[in-house]
Amino acid sequence: MTAKLRAAMSSLPAYVPGRKTPGAVILASNESPYGLLPSVAAVLAEHAAGVSRYPDMASAQLIEAIAAHHGVAPDRIAVGAGSVEVCSQIASAAVEGGDEVIFGWRAFEAYPIITAVVGGNAVRVPLTADAVHDVDAMVAAVTRRTRLVFLCNPNNPTGTAVGGDDMLRLADGIPSDVLLVVDEAYREYVDPQRVPDAFALLGERPNVVVTRTFSKAYALAGLRVGYCLAAPEVAAAVRKCQVPFSVSGLAQQAAIAALGDVEEVNRRAKLTVAERERVRTALLDAGYAVPASEANFVWLQLGERSASFAAACLEAAIVVRPFPEEGVRVTIGTDEENDRFLAVARAFAGSLRE
Ligand SMILES: Cc1ncc(COP(=O)(O)O)c(C=O)c1O
């Protein structure tokens, strides 16, 4: 007889990671193309021998460093093994079986998985025709069972972001006892004039949580560190839901070092933003529909051509991330990688015109 598992297991969507094809240009996982920060490499070497010991379970030094970075008290911070773990800790803290979790769709593909794992019901609110979150529809989707709303800003995979007015309408529109989680995994690539920092705008509201990660601009995707900023009582609950020791000692030290090198992080992020604009302009010129992006990737609205476009890229040893029948997400790489990608994109557009 097979073991009895929860009914949700048979319908749980699988997370589809970006492909890792050896030797190829990887533009599929929204990682930094510039590699490990040299300042962090030195710290990793220094602490490597420590991995025979368990890490500080409370990540106290890291939490102090994050608190200082944001100018807040440490009791407002919780960490996890990547912001995806932090999002699931938040869901574990807030969602009971049968409760509803609202998010735009398509948004970060972990949200439905996280929701199903805690026994919640996912409520997917379609993005607008411009691939932007429809905050009024999200407010309208709230019911008495709603416990959590995710706002992915900028949104993965579309790269679009809502501005301060929309953020305020969403925060004002949902009940004050429903958690609003603003996922800012791509914050470092945003134009701050257009998209305010959610914590600066909404951080004093006790039901607002902002998540951040070291995986993207800080170039630490493989070490798994993320965190949230929240009201002290919410942060305390999120900490209780962390898998014990999930943030390794090396990861804690690396994240502290990366925070200390924020000028270099911002310099690299600016390079990516400049390349993003160059890539988008070239794609628009070639005839693609590409919404304005505030992240380190662009979204090609290719519909039924998504799979064939990704296959054409793969033939040229470039891995992108297709969402069949919807579009293709392409991470901004180095200048040379982007040039290689654009050559394939131009050829693909040309072959469609023939
Ligand atoms: C919107 C968003 N949130 C969170 C994450 C998770 O990042 P990590 O768990 O590496 O911090 C990602 C990763 O792709 C993302 O796109």
The string of pLDDT tens digits covering residues 77-102 is: 999 999 999 999 999 999 999 999 99
Note the pLDDT tens digit of each residue in 215-229. 999 999 999 999 999
**Lowest model confidence (mean pLDDT) among 19-33, 145-159, 221-235:** 19-33
Identify the band that residue 52 occupies on the pLDDT scale cut at 50, 70 and 90. very high
- Determine if ligand 1 sits within 6 Å of the CB of residue 309: no
Return the amino acid letter for 135.
V
Q: Which two tokens stand for residue 228?
A: 């949230």
Contacts of 4 (CB under 8 A, 6+ apart): none
Interhelix angle for 249-259 vs 60-70, to 10°? 20
Note the pLDDT tens digit of each residue in 266-297. 999 999 999 999 999 999 999 999 999 999 99
Q: Which two tokens stand for residue 96?
A: 């009971």
Residue 300 DSSP SS3 = strand
Q: Identify which has the larger pLDDT, 112 or 6.
A: 112
Query: How far away, in angstroms, is 87 Cα from ligand 1 center?
Result: 9
Which of 89, 82, 80, 88 lies closest to 112, judged by CA? 88
Shortest-distance atom of ligand 1 to CA 224:
10
Note the pLDDT tens digit of each residue in 182-214. 999 999 999 999 999 999 999 999 999 999 999
Q: What is the mean pLDDT of the chain?
A: 96
Q: Which of 151, 187, 213 for a ligand 1 pocket mutation test, highest count of atoms within 8 Å of Cβ?
A: 213
Q: Measured on CA atoms in the order 30, 36, 38, 44, is the torsion positive or negative?
A: positive
User: What gap in Å lies between CA 351 and CA 163, rounded to an integer?
Assistant: 38
**Lowest model confidence (mean pLDDT) among 11-20, 140-149, 194-203:** 11-20
Query: How many distinct helices (H) and strands (E) make up the chain?
Result: 12, 12
Identify the band that residue 19 occupies on the pLDDT scale cut at 50, 70 and 90. confident
Shortest-distance atom of ligand 1 to CA 225:
11
Name beta bridge partners: 100. 121, 146
Q: Are 64 and 260 in contact (CB under 8 A)?
A: no
Strands 121-126, 100-105: pairing kind: parallel
- Determine if ligand 1 sits within 6 Å of the CB of residue 156: yes
Query: How far away, in angstroms, is 84 Cα from ligand 1 center?
Result: 6
Shortest-distance atom of ligand 1 to CA 215:
10
- Mean local confidence (pLDDT), 22-48: 95
Q: Say if residue 170's pLDDT is above 90.
A: yes
pLDDT of residue 20: 74
Residue 208 DSSP SS3 = strand
Q: Are 130 and 163 in contact (CB under 8 A)?
A: no
Measured CA distances, 202 to 32, 58, 103, 172, 245 (Å): 28, 26, 18, 10, 30
Q: Are 116 and 92 in contact (CB under 8 A)?
A: no
Which of 193, 209, 107 lies closest to 154, judged by CA? 107
Query: How far away, in angstroms, is 352 Cα from ligand 1 center?
Result: 34
